Amino acid sequence: MLINLSLWMFPIICMILGGNSIIADKENGRLSLYSTYQASSGYYLISKFLALVLSLFFVMGISYGIFSLIFSLAGSSFAAHIYQVLLLVNMLLILVFSAASLLIGAFSKTRIQGLSAAIIFWLKFYGTLDQVYKEYKCSSSEEVFLSIHKMEQQTD
């Protein structure tokens, strides 16, 4: 249960936090302030990436590290090994999804657009986008994105 939950939840947390961190800077005007500094935009993106990755590694390391330590102290090396493999898989997922979320955040103009693109990427990665297509009666992710964008304009 914990394995399935973490393999699904860590990527979506990365997508939401990473995308919103850049979009919030755009909407609040902090990104234009950062552009006046001596640092390059690459330095800005790398620092956002490292902050997101390290914070999620810390949270994941504490949760999985405690269980792995308990299992290794109890003498169950097989269970400790499984937690170590799961830790490495989740670290890889965090790296991939953090990079994707920052890329999405860099190209999105609003939070809704960024969140929509992040969720579509997450669903496409896990291969469940076909169910979403059937729900929105669309044939591509662009049509889903446009229908969500139309709903956003109608609420404004």
Q: Helix, strand or coil for residue 83? A: helix
pLDDT score recorded for residue 31: 82
Of 46 and 145, the structure prediction assigns the larger pLDDT to 46
Burial letters 4-26, b for 16+ CB under 10 A, else e:
eebeeebbbbbbbbbbbbbbebb
- DSSP classification of residue 1: -
**pLDDT tens digit string along 38-48?**
888 888 889 99
Of 22 and 68, the structure prediction assigns the larger pLDDT to 22
- DSSP classification of residue 50: H
CA 32 vs CA 60, 82, 132: distances in Å: 33, 46, 36
Percent of the chain scoring above 70 in pLDDT: 73
**pLDDT tens digit string along 57-115?**
998 888 777 777 777 777 766 666 667 777 788 888 899 999 999 999 989 888 888 88
Which of 58, 78, 70 is closest to 10 using CA atoms? 58
pLDDT score recorded for residue 49: 94
Rounded-to-integer distance, Cα 142 and Cα 22, Å: 22
pLDDT score recorded for residue 122: 85
Whether the predicted pLDDT of 141 surpasses 70: no
Whether the predicted pLDDT of 55 surpasses 70: yes
Question: Confidence class of residue 30 from pLDDT cuts 50, 70 and 90?
Answer: confident
Rounded to the nearest integer, the mean pLDDT of the chain is: 80
Whether the predicted pLDDT of 133 surpasses 90: no
Phi/psi of residue 138, each to 5°? -120, 165
Burial letters 111-139, b for 16+ CB under 10 A, else e:
bbbbbbbbbbbbbeeeeebeeeeeeeebe
Phi/psi of residue 76, each to 5°? -95, 85
- DSSP classification of residue 29: T
